[in-house]
């Protein structure tokens, strides 16, 4: 019967820890309002958070229109300045118009670059919004069985480890009296002889 003491010494604390874990279940992570909000927000954020960032075509058209107006104004200014001086047919007018066209193309490239960077930033913000929405501070729910096992595991592991260490050291575990097996006083073992 002395072999039962180490086993009971390992199992009883584990069962107590399991019972404590089963009684201490955590609440569910989301209430119905939070679930509804996530279900409506996530589909609206997913298109901008996934795929290639897209330039807003309305902004692009408006900025292209402003660039075209600037080009027209710059061309008119060069033309009037040179024609008024009698240089309308000179190479200076052609050079000025080419320079204006090159500047307009550079402006258009900068517009596209700026809009692409804006689209990338919008994608990053959408990803951050999604991560923020999904990282709820509430702890996930836990079943009674999960709570029991969560409470049981650390105590059982420690008890079994202690029992195995005692066996490796030749003690064979501890008796319920607290004395190592094989070293208990004789009256506990039922022997009446001398030690």
As given in the structure block, the two tokens for residue 183 are: 């070293």
Strands (E), the chain: none
End-to-end Cα distance, the chain: 21
Residues 158-182 have pLDDT tens digits of 777 777 777 666 655 444 445 455 5
Residues 76-134 have pLDDT tens digits of 999 988 888 888 778 888 899 999 999 999 999 999 999 999 998 888 888 777 777 76
As given in the structure block, the two tokens for residue 8 are: 């009971």
Question: Hey, where are the domains in the chain?
Answer: 1-25+142-195, 52-136
Contact 182, 191 (CB under 8 A): no
Contact 42, 71 (CB under 8 A): no
This prediction has a pTM of 0.47
Which position has the token pair 């692009």?
Answer: 60
As given in the structure block, the two tokens for residue 189 are: 């073992």
Q: How far apart are CA 17 and CA 34, in angstroms?
A: 33
Q: Which residues pair with 51 in a beta bridge?
A: none
Contact 123, 59 (CB under 8 A): no
As given in the structure block, the two tokens for residue 133 are: 């929405």
């Amino acid at each position: 019967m002395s072999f039962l003491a180490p086993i009971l010494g390992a199992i009883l604390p584990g069962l107590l820890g399991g019972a404590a874990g089963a009684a201490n279940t955590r609440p569910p992570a989301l209430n119905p309002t939070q679930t509804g909000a996530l279900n409506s927000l996530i589909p609206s954020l997913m298109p901008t958070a996934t795929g290639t960032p897209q330039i807003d075509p309305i902004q692009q058209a408006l900025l292209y229109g402003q660039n075209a107006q600037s080009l027209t104004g710059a061309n008119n200014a060069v033309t009037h300045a040179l024609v008024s001086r009698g240089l309308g047919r000179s190479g200076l007018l052609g050079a000025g118009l080419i320079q204006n066209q090159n500047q307009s193309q550079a402006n258009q490239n900068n517009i596209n670059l700026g809009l692409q960077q804006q689209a990338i930033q919008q994608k990053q913000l959408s990803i951050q919004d999604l991560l923020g929405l999904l990282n709820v501070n509430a702890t996930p729910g836990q079943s009674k069985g999960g709570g029991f096992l969560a409470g049981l595991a650390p105590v059982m592991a420690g008890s079994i480890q202690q029992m195995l260490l005692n066996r490796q050291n030749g003690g064979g575990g501890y008796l319920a009296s607290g004395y190592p097996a094989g070293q208990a006083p004789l009256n506990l073992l039922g022997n009446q002889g001398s030690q």
